[in-house]
Structure 1
Amino acid sequence: MLRAARAAFAASARLSSGRAPLQCSSVLTQHYHASDDKMQTILEHNKRWSEEKKDSDPSFFYKLSNIQAPEWLWIGCSDSRVPANQLMGLGPGEVFVQRNVGNIVTHHDMNVMSCIEYAVSVLKVRHIIVCGHHNCGAVKAALEMPHTTPSLVNLWIQDIRDTRDRNLEQLRKLEGQAQVNRLAEFNVMRQVFSVCTCPVVQAAWAAEQPLSVHGVIYALEDGRLREVTQPITGLDDLERYAEHKRGVMKHLSGALLTRLQFERQLKRLQTEPDDGAEEAEMGSLIGASTNPLPGPPGEMSP
Structure 2
Amino acid sequence: MPADDDHESHSSEASSDDGHFVQEILARNDAWATRMSTANPALFARNAKGQSPHVLWIGCSDSRVGEFCIDLLPGSVFVHRNIANLMPYGDLSSLSVVQFAVETLRVRHIVVCGHYDCGGAAAALGTKSLGVLDHWLKHLRDVRAEHKDELAAIKDPKSRLNRLVELNVVAQVHHVRRMGPVVEALKQGRISVYGMVYDVSSGHIKPLEVPQDTNELDYLLYSDDEDFKH
Q: Output the TM-score relative to the length of structure 1.
A: 0.71
- In structure 2, runs of 5+ residues without a counterpart are none
Q: Deviations over 1:79-131 (max 9, x none)?
A: 011121x2111110000000000000011100010000000000000000000
Q: Cα 1:271–1:199, aligned 2, differ >3 Å: closer, same or farther?
A: closer
Aligned-partner residue type, residue 213 of structure 2: A
Measure the CA separation in 2 of the matches of 1:192 and 1:53.
Answer: 33
1:63 corresponds to which of 36, 46, 60:
46
Aligned-partner residue type, residue 155 of structure 1: H
Q: How big is the shift at 1:57? A: 3.3
Q: How big is the shift at 1:54? A: 2.4
* CA-based RMSD: 2.2
Measure the CA separation in 2 of the matches of 1:50 and 1:186.
Answer: 39
Q: How big is the shift at 1:269? A: 7.3
- Partner in structure 1 of residue 183 of structure 2: 202
Measure the CA separation in 1 of the matches of 2:228 and 2:96.
Answer: 33
Measure the CA separation in 2 of the matches of 1:259 and 1:52.
Answer: 50
Q: Cα 1:209–1:28, aligned 2, differ >3 Å: closer, same or farther?
A: same
Q: How big is the shift at 1:61? A: 1.1
Question: Are 2:152 and 1:172 aligned?
Answer: yes
Query: Any residues of structure 2 matched to 1:121-140 within 5 Å, and which?
Result: 121-140=103-122
- Partner in structure 2 of residue 259 of structure 1: 218
Quick check: 55-64 or 156-165, which moved more?
55-64
Q: Percent identity?
A: 30
Measure the CA separation in 1 of the matches of 2:7 and 2:225.
Answer: 75
| Paired residues, number | 229
- Partner in structure 2 of residue 107 of structure 1: 89
Report the structure number with the largest CA radius of gyration.
Answer: 1
2:213 corresponds to which of 239, 242, 255:
242
Aligned-partner residue type, residue 78 of structure 2: F
Measure the CA separation in 2 of the matches of 1:142 and 1:102.
Answer: 10
Q: Cα 1:258–1:209, aligned 2, differ >3 Å: closer, same or farther?
A: closer
Measure the CA separation in 2 of the matches of 1:273 and 1:102.
Answer: 39
Q: Cα 1:31–1:182, aligned 2, differ >3 Å: closer, same or farther?
A: same
Q: Output the TM-score relative to the length of structure 2.
A: 0.92
Measure the CA separation in 1 of the matches of 2:52 and 2:98.
Answer: 15
Query: Any residues of structure 2 matched to 1:1-302 within 5 Å, and which?
Result: 19-84=2-67, 86-146=68-128, 149=129, 151-174=131-154, 175-206=156-187, 208-230=188-210, 241-243=212-214, 256=215, 259=218, 263=220, 270-271=226-227
| Contact 2:196 2:208 (8 Å CA) reproduced | yes
Q: What secondary structure does 1:98 align onto?
A: strand
- In structure 1, runs of 5+ residues without a counterpart are 1-17, 231-239, 244-255, 275-302
